[in-house]
Structure formats: structure tokens, C-alpha cells
Amino acid sequence: MAERRVTIGWPEGLHARPASVFVRAATAVGVPVTIAKEGGNPVNAASMLALLGLGAQGGDAVILASEAEGADEALDRLAKLVQEGLDELPAA
């Protein structure tokens, strides 16, 4: 299983607009990805409701994971998005 541990770069955390950006990006990478707060249970990264349920704040550590083929590239892109608090998924 591929994993990336990253710190949330959006000051407001994964709420409202940043959560929407992340869910669209998680869907766009084309592989199933989970996200979990450090020490918490993983949830589907492409689910807005599940993501908001994490209650992840700016500066919190999260773990992105996937077992799918192509997971390393997908997780690298999502990790960059989260860590840098970007407004869109970085180019491949």
C-alpha cells in the first residue's frame, strides 16, 4: 500500500472550499484513495461528507493511502495539493 503523510496547508483546514477542491482532485486522479487524520480511521477521499466528517484543521497531519496501480503518482499529486493548500490539482 502506498501512503503519504502530509500536513494540511489550507489555514481553514479541509472545510468548505478546500474540501471541495480536494474531493474534485481525489476523483480526478482516477484511483481510489483514502484519507485519515493521524491515528484515525481512513475514509473515502472522494466523499465530501466523509471528508468534512474528519474535522481536519490547518496544520493537522493526514495520511493519504491507496492500493491501486498508479497510486504513487496519484498520491504525490494529492499530497502536493494538500500540503501547499493549492486551488487545483497540480499537473502530472
Q: Does domain 2-84 have CATH number 3.30.1340.10?
A: yes
Q: Work out the pLDDT band at 87, boundaries 50, 70, 90.
A: confident
Catalytic site residue 15? yes
Output the pLDDT for position 61: 97
DSSP E strands, 38-92: 43-44, 61-66
Say if residue 92's pLDDT is above 70: no
Output the pLDDT for position 36: 98
Q: What is the pTM of this model?
A: 0.93
Q: What is the mean pLDDT of the chain?
A: 94
pLDDT digits (tens, 9 = 90+) for 12-24: 999 989 999 999 9
Which residue in 2, 3, 9, 15 is the catalytic one? 15
Q: What are the boundaries of each domain within the chain? A: 2-84
